[in-house]
Each structure stands twice: as structure tokens, then as C-alpha cells.
Structure 1
Amino acid sequence: MKLLIVTNVDWFLISHRLVIAKAAAKAGWRVYVACEDTGRGSEISVDGIEFISFSFSRSGTNFLEELKLLRRFRELYRTVNPDVVHHITIKPVVYGSLAAKKEGIKGVVNAISGLGYMFAQGKVGIMQKIVLQLMKIGANRKGISFIFQNKDDRDILTKFNVLNEQNRVKIIKGSGVDLKKFAFYPLPQDNLFKILLPCRMLWDKGVRELREASEILKGNYSQRIQFVLVGMADNDNKAGVPESYLRDWEDGEYVVWMGQQSDMVKFYKDCHIVVLPSYREGLPKTLIEACAIGRPIVTTNAVGCKDCVDEGENGFKVPIKDGVALAEAIRRLVDNPELMKKMGLAGRTKAEIEFNVDDVVNSHLEVYNSLLK
């Protein structure tokens, strides 16, 4: 049984899906992973997994280059000849489904981990319609399973007739969290409350709105709170926040930008509140990790984000692109440490019930096995 997993870059696979690839290999699958090697490919080539360096632009609007990419997908599938191919993120879903159809790959899993930058503004223009139409062509046959992280993304593809009666559809809440690695940890006994933003520095993650909130709060709270930004500046992403913007914002005391970090457990333990004012997500891994460690959350009522928070129970949800409301939600928590503690406990309970990585892994293996029948 050959399983081929295709996604965009190595670091995303490592953080979000490597545990599934390892579990599949342990269950008897011969596992291949194809994605761009940014220097971490060796971390994927473990436990019987074969890594294939396969790079492509995450955006790309040059028609001829996109046709060449489709041919490369077909060549990859002819070489590996998998029984099941698992596409993760939009571009592999679109091109991979078309290539799999042409090459006669019988089992296809399309993981819609959020409809991404193209759909973050809530509008469906010409480019979005082209993407949806290509998805529809690739999905119009037997042996296609879709995995969604939230009902909203499923409903969009249903509305535009991408899904059909031949497709199997399953909702799996995110990539899960290791409840042992991200064990519950009491709030730090510190007079300086740390507000953690753990994500890539992208405009659609709400970086501008968080800066606005930090400036609103600075006058009265500059000695009581600290904003800690942990994540890389993604220069290859259209929504990437320039490093100059981040350097201008941080001062080393009230606002600190730590860049990319490998030990996220440490930062969750050191913080008091986790914030993610994103415009759209699949189901953000950072928020389910925050739940597991026991941190109250301030996020938006955006697709994906809203599924991580029960309003007033383990955090607050504010409108998208509203820095004022974001500042007010942070202030409410900082002024009420007992509420922070209560919400942290509720978040841990939510993680145990809804986000256990073992359940996520088992659900994926069930989908793979179902495609062999």
C-alpha cells in the first residue's frame, strides 16, 4: 500500500501532518512525502517515510508555468504510482486532483485546511471561481474524499457544486494536539502579563489590528503587559508583513518580536493570553495548542477561529479587523486574573474532548483505508 502526501513546504508538513505520516508508516503503508525542501527534509525522512523534494510557487499566475507544474505533478504520480494520494493546501488539491485523474490514481484525499489567502476577504472573484471550477473537475469521479477542518469551508464548496454525491466528506477538527507534549500548565505568577501572538507574520493574521490594540492599551498598561510575537516574516507570501514594519513596532520591552522559534511549548507556558486576530483559518493549530496548555484566547469570529473558542468560556471572539474590540477583550482579561485562570481550565477541557491528536490520526487512517476498498 503506497501513500503519497503532497503539500507546499517541509516546515508545514512537520508541524501539521508528520505525525499522521508516521502513523501510516507504522500501520503498514509505504509512505512518500513530496514538498519543497527548505532545509528540513531530513526531519521528514524518518520512520520509513521517503522524502521527495518537490517545490512550486504557492501563488503563481503565469499560465505557461502553471501548465508545466501540472505536468510535474503527473510525472510525480507516474513515478510513485500511489494507491492513495493525500493533497494538503489549495494548490496541491487543485493540481494534484487533476493530475491524479489523468494518471488514474484511484484513491484521493483532498484536505481543505482553510481556503487560504484567496478567500480571506470573503469575496469570490474571477480567480476564486477558476480555482473552484478546477477543483470541481478534479473531484468529479469516484474515489475522492474531502477532509474539512470546519463546516464553513465545506459549505462553500457545496454552494459552488465542487462536491458531488460520489465524494466522501469528513470534518476533522484541525491537525490535533499532543496532550502530553502540550500538557496543562498553570498561569505564570508574574506581574507582567504576556500577550502571545504565535503565527507567521501575515496581514491576514491580524498583525495590523494587534498593533492598533497595543497602541490603544499602551497609555495605561505599558508597565503591566508585554506583546510577544513569535513567527517568521513570510516574504514569499502575498500577505507577508515586511520586517521593517515589525522592527518599527517592537521596542524590546512593550513589544518583542522573537521570529521563528522551534520550542513553542516554552512560549505558551510563559504567556498569560494567546491572541490570533485572523481574517480566516482552517482550524488554527496555535489556538488548539493554547487550549491544551491552558491559556485563555482572544481571537476573531472568523471562519476556523470561532471553532476554537466558546465565547466567555475559554476566551473571547471579536469582529474581524477591529483593533478597538481586540484591545477591549485583552483589557478585560488583564484586569481579571481569576477569569484568565478559569478560561485556561476550560480550554484544557475543550482540547481533551475535541482536539486530541490520537483521534485525528485515527480518523485519517480510516479515510486512507476506506479508499482501498
Structure 2
Amino acid sequence: MEKKRVLLIASHHVSLIRFRGDFIKSLIDNGFDVFAAAPDYSEEIKQKIKALGATPVEFKLQRTGLNPMKDYKSIQELKSIIKSNKIDLVFPYTVKPVIYGSIAANSCKIPVVSLITGLGYTFTGASSKAKLLQRFNETLYKLSIRKNKCIVFQNKDDYQLLLDRKVIPKDQKVDFVSGSGVNLKQFTFKEKNPTDKVSFLFIARLIKEKGVALYLEASKILKEKYPNAEFHLIGAPETSPTAISEDELRELHDKGIIIFHGKQKDVEKHLHNTDIFVLPSYYREGLPRTTLEACACGNPIITTDSVGCRESVKEGENGFLIEPQNLEALAKPMEYFITHPEKIKEMGINSRKYAEERFDVDIINNDLVNIIKQELNLN
């Protein structure tokens, strides 16, 4: 029997390796031909995609903002890719690929299994611009995903929101997975043995919605009270309107309040070398990959009791959930770990157990492959 052809559509080529590399391998191991579409491919990522056994395909996409002419061209280009490569099923993820990939595939009468990895800024922001974008995106989602064979969500809050807003009908076929999963062989467990130098780590985009400003304020307060504590921060400076400036980060680093590492590739090493992972995000997450990696490495988690984030914590067992945008609520559990370092080892062990139970990439990819097989009548 001829192999079925699956087209993955991403908004960023790096994510195909970092977040979907194991998934691509799972599809190939299950007898699929895989095509991986993304804009602005680097030669390095192209070669990595080919090494996995997949075919990289490039298309043009304006990742942020709205430009009807460019967006229309993206849809037409995706339609051409689907037809010329005789694609049997399209699997888009993240906002624009889901919307434009779904429109393109449905117009070609090709089945779509779309993955909602979070609803992001437009469903989080309270500004007039965010609300305008929200209404516009709701309309685009209605136009694009209602004909999809299955919509996969990473949390039930996003599903409920789209249901409540009548973006999708009640009879829409949906499924759920626990994020993109984490490779437990790559992100290995290391038992924590903390001293009086308890260390915290924040990894995310350096925008206020991700909670970085709150983390910096908590670091200032706690560093003054507990000089031995360490507050690490990983992330690349951004030009977003809500970004924290690199000058501010460098100043705090030079004063010894934080340890700013900038952008880093070897995340596992930094998770192993620090005690507690902190993500006080109020961005509308799917299920943050960094918290899953922290769980796998054996770090207790402090994150917000909000969409997506809450999925990674069993309250009081492997960490704490806090109220979003509340400095006191963040500083309290951070101080708890400083004054009760013996709890770090125990909660870290529980984090790893939770990762093995729920976030193992093999389990999640197996679920996704089965959904695709079902829609192609291969089960």
C-alpha cells in the first residue's frame, strides 16, 4: 500500500525540530511520508528535517500582524504545496498555520487535524487593539476550523472558550493531549540537594505577559532578604511593546540581583544546575513546554493558576499555583523554598513522576498518530 502523506505546517522552522521532532519520527515510524512546511527555513534546520526522514517545504508567512494580501498569498501557496505533493492529511499548529492551513486544505477537500497550542496574546490582552484582534481571530477561526476532521487542544479551557464564543459547534469532533510532551531520555532526572544557596530559574519570552517583570520584582525583594539565593533568567531580548529592555536586565545582572544568561540552547543543563522553576505567566498558554522540561529534570514548579499553566502542577506535591499578576503571591512560595530547602528534593522527585505519568512525549505522540490514523481510516 502506498504511504499516506502528512503535511505539518508551522509558523517557525525551529519549532519543527524543538517541539515536533519526536512527532515527525513517530509518524515516519508508523509508515507515513512527512512533509514539514515553514517560512524562512535555515539550511541547518532543513538538514535536520531531512535527517529525520521528512521533506522540508518552504512557504511565505508574515508571522505577526495582519496583511490581507500577504495572508491570501500564504493560503494560495499552501494550496499549491498540498496539491503538488499529493498530501493526504494536513496537521497545522499555532495560530496562523491553523487558520491558513485549514482554509487551504479544506478548499482542496483534504482532511485536517489541527492542534491548538494556546490562544495567545489576542485572547489575553485587555487593550482595545487586543480586543479588536480577538474579534478578528474569532471570525477567522470560525471560517477555517469548523470543517476540520478533528481539533486537538492542549487544555480544556481553550476548548471551552471557543465553544462559549460559538467559534466551534458543540458537535465538533475534538481531542486533548498534554502539551507537546517532553523526551524523558533527553531531559533526564537529577535529584536536588540544595544548600543555603537556593536557586530559581525563569525561562520564557521576555515579555510582561510571561511574568518576567513580576519575577524581577520578586527577585529584588528576596535577594535583599536572602543574599545567598540566586535568581537566574534565560531568554532573548525582544522588541515587543511589552518586552523588558536588555538594559534593565543587564543593570540587574551587574547589581547581582539576577543572573542573566540571555538566549541558551542547553536548557537541560540550566534546569539541572538550579533548584526551582518559575513561570508566573498570564499569557493564554497551551501548556508551556518549559514547565514540562522542568518537571522531567526534577525541578519543583511555581506557576500561575491560569489557562495551560495549571496543568503542570499538583498543588503542594510538585510545586505551587499562584494568582496571576500578584507579586505577594509569587514571593511567598519562592520564600518558602528558601526557608524550607528540604522540600525541594521531595517535590522535585514528584515532578519527575508527574512527567512520566502524563507528559512523556512517546505517549502524546502515540495519541496524535492514532488520531491521524483514525481520520485516514487506517486503524
2:205 equivalent to 1:226: no
Q: Could you tell me how far apart the structure 2 residues matched to 1:7 and 1:125 are? A: 25
* Bigger Cα displacement from structure 2, 264-273 vs 11-20: 11-20
How far apart are the structure 1 equivalents of 2:226 and 2:96?
43
Contact 1:140 1:166 in 2 (8 A): no
Q: 2:65 aligns with which of 49, 56, 60?
A: 60
Equivalent position of 1:77 in the other structure: 82
Give CA deviations for 1:196-233 in whole Å, capped at 9, x if unaligned: 112222221111111111111121112x1111112223
User: 1:96-131 deviations in whole A, cap 9, x for unaligned?
Assistant: 1111111221x2011100111211237872321221
| Gap runs ≥5 in structure 2 | none
SS state of the match for residue 83, structure 2? helix
**Cα–Cα, structure 1 residues 168 and 252, in superposed 2: closer, same or farther, change >3 Å?**
farther
RMSD: 1.9
Structure-2 change in CA distance of 1:122 and 1:366 (3 Å): farther
Contact 2:193 2:345 in 1 (8 A): no
% same residue: 34
- 1:171-200 deviations in Å (ceiling 9; x for gaps): 100111122222221114444222111222
Post-superposition shift, 1:259?
A: 1.9
1:59 deviation in Å? 1.6
- Aligned pairs for 1:19-58 within 5 A: 19-36=22-39, 37-38=41-42, 39-58=44-63
Q: Do the aligned partners of 1:282 and 1:304 also contact (CA within 8 Å) in 2?
A: yes
Structure 1 counterpart of 2:144: 138
Distance 1:170 1:103, change over 3 A: same
Partner of 2:376: 372
2:187 partner amino acid = F
State the alpha-carbon separation in 2 of the partners of residues 10 and 253 from structure 1. Answer: 36
CA deviation vs aligned residue, 1:103-160 (integer Å, no higher than 9, x gap):
221x20111001112112378723212212221222233x521111100001111112
Paired AA for residue 314 in structure 2: D
Q: How does 1:270-289 map to 2 (within 5 A)?
A: 270-279=273-282, 280-289=284-293
Cα deviations by residue, 1:46-85 (Å, 9 ceiling, x for unpaired): 2310111234222222232222222222222222231111
Deviates more, 1:76-85 or 1:282-291: 76-85
Q: How do residues 115-154 of structure 1 correspond to structure 2 at under 5 angstroms?
A: 115-121=119-125, 125-141=131-147, 144-154=149-159
CA contact (8 A) 1:225 1:254 kept: no
Rounded to whole Å, the distance in 1 between the matches of 2:216 and 2:261 is 16
**Alignment map for 1:78-93 (pairs within 5 Å):** 78-93=83-98
2:184 match: 179
Counterpart position of 1:196: 201
Secondary structure of the corresponding residue to residue 51 of structure 2:
coil
Equivalent residues, number: 369
Give the aligned residue type for 2:369: L
- Whole-Å separation in 1 of the counterparts to 2:126 and 2:114: 22
Give the SS at the match of 1:58.
Answer: coil
* Counterparts of 1:276 and 1:172, CA distance in 2: 21
| Distance across 2 between alignment mates of 1:254 and 1:125 | 36
Aligned to 2:258: 255
Question: Is contact 1:111–1:146 with CA below 8 Å preserved after alignment?
Answer: yes
* Separation in structure 2 between the aligned mates of residue 243 and residue 215 of structure 1, nearest angstrom: 17
* Aligned match of 1:307: 311
TM-score by length of structure 1 reads 0.93
Contact 1:5 1:87 in 2 (8 A): yes
Q: Which amino acid aligns with 2:140?
A: L
Taking the aligned partners of 2:249 and 2:78, their CA distance within structure 1 comes to 37
Unaligned regions of 5+ residues in structure 1, if any? none
Matched residues in 2 for 1:209 and 1:21: separation? 37
Aligned equivalents of 2:271, 2:289: Cα separation in 1:
13
Q: How far apart in 2 are the matches of 1:270 and 1:216?
A: 23
Is 2:196–2:341's contact at 8 Å kept on the other side of the alignment? no
> How many Å separate the matches in 1 of 2:170 and 2:156?
17
> CA, structure 1 residues 240+84, in 2 after alignment: closer, same or farther (shift >3 Å)?
farther
Contact 2:60–2:74 at 8 Å: present in 1 too? no
Structure 2 letter corresponding to 1:256: I
Q: Distance in 1 between matches of 2:371 and 2:224?
A: 53
Q: Distance in 2 between matches of 1:122 and 1:87?
A: 27
Q: 1:240 to 1:13 in 2, by over 3 A?
A: farther
Q: What amino acid does structure 1 have at the position aligned with 2:185? A: K
Deviations 1:14-48 (A, max 9, x none): 22111101110121111010113245332222231
Partner residue of 1:96 out of 87, 101, 114: 101
In structure 2, how many angstroms separate the alpha carbons of the residues matched to 1:197 and 1:190?
Answer: 20
Which of 347, 350, 360 is the equivalent residue of 2:351? 347
Shift of 1:368: 1.0
CA 14–252 in structure 1, closer or farther in 2 if over 3 Å, else same: farther
Cα pair 1:174 1:283 within 8 Å, conserved: yes
* Residue 163 (structure 1) aligns with: 168
